Structure 1
Amino acid sequence: MKNKARTICVVLLIFIALGTVALAGTETQLTQDERLTQRTAIYGNYVFWIESAGNDVHAYDLTTGNRADITGNSAGGKINAYGDKVVWTGDGESVYMYNISTGNKTMIADGRRVADIYGNYIVYTNNYYYNQDQENDGIYLYDLETQNETKIAAVYSFPAIYGNRVVWSQENNSSAYDIYLYNLSTQETGKIATTNRSEPESELEIFGNVVVWTESDNVYMHDIAANKTTPVTSNGNSYQPAIYGNRIVYTIGNPYIGGNKDIYMYEIPAARTTRITNSTFAFNPSVYGDKIVYADCRNNPEFCEARDIYLYDLSNTSNSLVANFTDNVSKGTAPLNVSFSDTSTGTPDTWYWDFGDGEISNEQNPVHTYVSAGNYTACLTVNNANGTDSKLVTISVK
């Protein structure tokens, strides 16, 4: 029994670390026979995507099931949404906006590209040509109320906006790119994080105090308030991060070439990684609340041309099994008595405790004595009809 419990714990922890434990959410296919879908966006009950086969933008209302097809003016690249508005790059060099409530499409700026939107503000950069005069490089802020454009940085980059913060990557003296932030309220600019990238970050996103990006084919997050950068992945094969609330979604598997690719989710407070899809053909994720949308070419895997849009709903996973526990003490001198209290959610049926010193227990709330000095990994594995989950902590004994 001792070896069995330890095996269960170790195997589950490996699964969790690799993001292979799936949630009991609901997946829905929203479209049929879409062609060459590039990017997705979601805000509220509206889902948007760009389809490069027709160079158009499309919108889907999750409430009514109605679809709107918008002439995209040769739309390409990223697409971003806020409220009932969506922005994208059209004609290769112009920023467009569509209001799904009014049905109005507007060209916001010519000679600009890579737009993001929040509230009444749109941010974008200039068009870039390798041999052009760099004096026109810039990050620009457009006010939808005043229709005024303001240059907030003299660099070419890929900006993102949330609240009163605009972020982008900017080259430093070592030819690497750092993350900068502009505060709309104070009109101050400052560096918030360093990276090892050798080119502008094109997959930068921000929500609240957290900025996410890719570096060396891994996803990173930076907490602005804590001034702390944390790697979300370490597999060297992660791309396309998007963030909403405490959830970061991304693709494992290069979305730009062949090979397996799936959507994963990282929950910031629990530092927990979860595999969302297992089709091996999913990419281009975006997230809003409990909803994740993505493209998937499972229906045309040989050429990956029929890239339909799927929705994964997390709202019915509140009863899924999540292992958790507390202890009354995590360090001290031997002999150290530790009381473990199970706080798992999802109604476990069984509990397997591996205290890391060769002893185990099947009690829900055991008390264990560590008799020798050392660092021990205490692991709880819980189980029910919905699956198995594990959590560990370190107990330090002197």
Structure 2
Amino acid sequence: MSSSAAVADGVVFIGNMDGTLYAFSEETGDLLWNHAFTPSQYDEHRILSSPAVAGGVVYVNTYGGGLYALDASTGAVLWNYRAEGENGAYSSPAVADGVVYVGSGYTNKKLYAVDALTGDLLWDFTTGGSVSSSPAVANGVVFFGSNDNTTYALDATTGDLLWNFTTGGRVISSPAVANGVVYFGSYDNTTYALDASTGALIWSYATGGRVTSSPAVANGIVYFGSSDGNVYALGTLPLDPPAAAFTSDVTSGNAPLEVIFSDTSTGVVTTRSWDFGDGTMAWANETVTVSHTYLFPGTFTVSLTAGNIDGQDTEMKTGYIQVNPMGSPPRAWFTASPMMGSGPLTVSFTDRSMGTPAAWQWDFGDGNTSSERNPAHTYATTGKYTPTLTVFNAGGRSSYSSFVWVSGGTVVPTVTPTQTVSPKPTVPLGKPPISFFSVSKSFGLAPTTVQFTDWSFNSPTSWHWDFGDGNTSVLRNPSNTFVNPGTYPVSLTVTNAYGESTSSRRVFVR
């Protein structure tokens, strides 16, 4: 017995080399009926192929090349089709959309398409060898292999050739089709994966022997056997996203405070992104522990995003780290030169803070910032700006603000014989906007979608976003999908009748 069983509606159907098709109860194994086919001249091994069941009819191809349709309930023959001279058939039938597809023996070298209801031949396609491979039908295309070393794709309705792919050996392996890919084996010791639409080779895998078995595909894994004695599984098993969790050795202390964080996530973790809440973030993919030192006092929210190829999860602990001041806080102060002038105006800022600050954060009042001690900044548009310096040390922080006035220039006087008009400065009637925005997330695995929210000041009337990946938007609150890994500088430029302002942030995609 070389036939594989087919099971439908509680009945097991299987063919035997004695030329008989059997039907057994799936539940008890009792014989329900059997049908013995009449032997022909070369029919000593009658049924080598496997039956197919569809619509209450069981279809079976005999070694002598006879295709039969029997009532699945009674075993009564409904019709049979046999091409003249047909013999030596191994192909199992496939049924789709009212058509039975089956390969020929070594005489006619064809694939047949037969009406499933009447048994009439609809079309046939001639290859260069016998068709022992059993056809597969998907998306209106029938796929099969031939002993002429070739796998074919035909229009299932007309039988027209769509494409073919030639290997280095006979193809008796029956193809499997999944997710737009055709998989099959060859006598050249290789399993192939082809694009189902074009027949283009996607990949191939060489074994130590002929691949005559038919592949099976499940959950992205291709399974097949080889005559080298091995069963192969190719692909990557799907993973559940991890459940993120973390702990730390301490949660409070005096500044500067060193904290060792430990990833206690469950599941397979291949990427780790830490946000320590003080403006510092880190990727630590290779280790479950990471050390971070909080230089300045404050209460900090810490989060860990743990991920793998199939997803990610984030745990956030609000107010998790409490850093106490140690010593006296600094006292912020700075000078700016010049403090007024025509735009564009470049201003040099000089830190004159007291109390030995260890870090500086400048906000120039136009959406731009700096962490240098003594930066220079150019104001491009007219307006009155309020630059602010915040300084930090282990004892705390302190802020100081000043102003910068950027005018539109001097009005040229108009002179007449009777009147001289003195120049007057142009005074802006309103305020230019100050660009500011937030993001739904700063880290993610490609592809990742980020929502951007405008929080700009002084009533901007237009918005221009540059997402750093070639995409832009003029919406106020857009979203963008970053397809590829990378670090993307995202900028927002806002304008109104009195000027414009630009601010930027980075999005990290792994």
TM-score by length of 1: 0.47
TM-score by length of 2: 0.38
Report which of the two has the higher share of helix: 1
Give the structure, 1 or 2, with the largest relative contact order (CA under 8 Å, sep 6 or more).
1
